[in-house]
Structure formats: C-alpha cells, structure tokens
Structure 1
C-alpha cells in the first residue's frame, strides 16, 4: 500500500481518511483594521472562505448589510452555523465562478472581509462593474515552519508519498523550504484549484488538479490517482 499523502489545510478533516496525514503548512495571524468601516451600509458582504467568517463573526452583528454571499459549500455551512443567512451561493466554488454567476448592480456597496493574501481578482472584477468595494484584511497567513520541516522529513523517509496543497500560499511556503532541504522530485503533488496548480508549476513541478475546488475534491483526486497505479 502506498504511503499516505500530506494534506495542508488548516482545519482537521471531519473523518478519518487513511490516505492522508493532516499537517497544516499555514498559521493565521489576526490583523487589526479600521473599524469605522463597519459603520457604513453595504448591499452585500461576500465571504470567500470559512476563515473569513470565523475572523469576522464578532463584527458581523455591527454591520448594516442587506445580503450575504458565500463562496464554497463549507463557507456557506459555517455561515449557517453562525446564524448568518446566505442569500447567494455560486455553483462553482471559486472567485471565477462567483464572478460569472453573480449579478452586480451599478453603485452597489460590497464588503469583502478576507485574508490579506487573498487574490485581488474578486475585488477588481466587481469594481470593473461599477460596484463600490471595500476590502478588510482580517488576517494574514504565515508559514508553519515546524510542520513543513516535518513534512519534508516524512517524504525523505518514505512515510509520505506526496502533498495535497489546499492553497497557493501553502505551496509557496513549502517549496521555498524544500529547495533549501534539497528535496528530490519523486513525489506526487495535488492542487485544490488552478491558482495553486500554477504556483506549483512556478517551482518546476507537476501536479494533479482537483475537479472540484474543495477538500473533498482533493481527496477524490488522490484516490483516483492511486487507483490508476
């Protein structure tokens, strides 16, 4: 039986999966922001991740907002658990999918609380459609160096066969450390979505990309890859 794959997401899986080792490569650091931004009215607030909901939850009751949108099934579910009603939820769990499905009214005021490292695509495209967008940087990722070093050790000892990257930041942090550690190239890499796939490619490695941009999608592509061998 092949050695398990290291999974880099920041929260534990809800089930025990033999194929993976849970080892987050990112720690999240809370940031301060101008709370006067919460005093304005917004037509929409867009949560692009579960972490965005988690870090903004204490501020949400203070905001005068008409509608809530969520990107990703787990984000929507987490909103529901926090009694936040989601009014719009795209079928495609990505910024690109959201942009294609979301209808923007001219001069709409939109609040996006998210990571400081989030891709600017969503904000840019909404602004191009004449929406007024306010982005709040709630937190920022930083490398979980101890876990990355442990992952490199597991790979070198044959106790893991590859890595499933749940974000492009995780891939960035890992390959910078792996380069210094002279890690070989005989490992399988998996990407949760195209941005993460492109980041792995930048470092000169190949990866399989999940058909669905979710953790379940990553698990499925790992299983499919193993079944082909």
Structure 2
C-alpha cells in the first residue's frame, strides 16, 4: 500500500511479491516560523524526506548548519537537492535516533527539529534532556483527492495478502473508506506508532518492522509471508 519508495518496491519485486500501490495520505506544506536565524542553530534534524521540500522552500540556505537525518532514504533525498547529511541515524525509531545523536552532538547544542504535524514527541522529549530543541511542524498529511478504489475493493473482498502501512494517518484514512470486514484486516506496520493506531481499531497487526523504515517494512512483509521455521 505505501506509495513508491524505491527500496520497498525493489525488495518486494526481488521476492516476487506483487505490490498494488494505493496512497492513503497526501503531504501538504504548512506555514511555520523559526524564532532565530538558521545560522544560530548547530543542527537541523529532518525526520522524514517529506519535511525537506516544505522546509527548504522557506529556508533557502542551510549549508553552514550541520544536518542530521533519519534513514538512508531521507539522506538520499537530501543529497538529490544539493545537501549532504552530516549524520544519518539508523532509522530504527525516533527514540533510537535520539540516543545515536547524543553520542555525536555536544551537550547544549541548539537543534532545529523539522517534522510533520502529527509526529510523536518521543524523540523531541529525549533530545531535550541534552540539547536546546526547537520543533517546527513543516507539513501535514491529508486524505488524497484520488483514492485507488480498486485496491479498496480488493481489500473488502479479502483478495489480498497484507496491507503495508507506513503512518497512523494511512490507517485512519483506510478505515474511512472501509465498509465491511474491518476487524479482519491484515496489516503489516512500519513501526510502533503505526501499530498503536491499528490497535485502536481492535486489530492486532500481523507484523511490525523492527527497523522502522521502508526497508524494514518490506523485510517484515517477506518474513510474514514466508515465516522461517
């Protein structure tokens, strides 16, 4: 179900798993302000590639500020628009990233955290123990104008293997379109926050990625389809 992340599709294709893309969220930039010039921050952290374009559209020059990102896909997207990440977190989770970042950065550093509006505050709270953190919400997720109704019909008729979801919003938006068999849905989740949202509907995820990124999601689907003895 997630839209187009190359590494996800590459892994799925390598194992012969058919993927039907059905984007369930649309990313929209939102207005934001920064209390001080970017140059006064020691670090900018991008938790997702979705944060890059909205942030850089408003803040055009960040070349003199160190940049940290979560996951290789965000680092690659950053590179494609002309910047190099100074630190790439493993992408296992926001909490894990915070612990990794603390080993690198200097206590008391000023950190600008560019995230989505619905992002958890777990990483933010952890970073605030050692750094001066200013969070800016730079994008939000909404329901797409065009939903893949054929994919929804396949799900309702139980003509699918698993539903891969990469955000709580995707779970909510799918549920809005489901009329039947909600309790029987077979989700594989990208991580703990998304799994928690699935459970709010009374459904236990069939699988949850240990490494909370698209690579981890793909690997979890493969292992769920073909469990090892």
Range into which the TM-score falls when normalised by the shorter chain: 0.7 to 0.9
Root mean square deviation, CA, Å = 2.6
What is aligned with 2:183?
185
1:170 and 2:170 equivalent? yes
Alignment of 1:188-203 (within 5 A): 188-203=186-201
Separation in 1 of the partners of 2:9 and 2:161? 22
Match of 2:2 among 8, 31, 36: 8
User: Residues 41 and 63 of structure 1 are in contact (CA less than 8 Å); yes or no, is this contact kept in structure 2?
Assistant: no
Separation in 1 of the partners of 2:146 and 2:127? 38
Gaps of 5+ in 2: none
Gaps of 5+ in 1: 1-6
Separation in 1 of the partners of 2:38 and 2:76? 27
Q: Given the superposition, is the C-alpha separation of residues 137 and 65 from structure 1 closer, same or farther in structure 2, using an over 3 Å criterion?
A: farther
What is aligned with 2:40?
41
Separation in 2 of the partners of 1:67 and 1:99? 16
Q: Given the superposition, is the C-alpha separation of residues 216 and 227 from structure 1 closer, same or farther in structure 2, using an over 3 Å criterion?
A: same
What is aligned with 2:126?
125
1:157 and 2:137 equivalent? no
CA displacement, residues 101-121 of structure 1 (integer Å, 9 cap, x when unaligned):
112534321111221111122
Alignment of 1:43-82 (within 5 A): 43-63=42-62, 65-82=64-81
Q: Given the superposition, is the C-alpha separation of residues 146 and 80 from structure 1 closer, same or farther in structure 2, using an over 3 Å criterion?
A: closer
SS class of match (2:57): coil
- Alignment coverage as a number of residue pairs: 220
User: Residues 92 and 210 of structure 2 are in contact (CA less than 8 Å); yes or no, is this contact kept in structure 1?
Assistant: no
Separation in 1 of the partners of 2:106 and 2:221? 41
User: Residues 10 and 26 of structure 1 are in contact (CA less than 8 Å); yes or no, is this contact kept in structure 2?
Assistant: no
Match of 1:206 among 204, 207, 215: 204
Separation in 1 of the partners of 2:44 and 2:68? 6
What is aligned with 1:105?
106
Separation in 2 of the partners of 1:218 and 1:147? 22
Q: What's the TM-score once normalised by structure 2's chain length? A: 0.83
What is aligned with 1:135?
135
Separation in 1 of the partners of 2:82 and 2:28? 25
Q: What's the TM-score once normalised by structure 1's chain length? A: 0.83
Separation in 2 of the partners of 1:150 and 1:41? 50
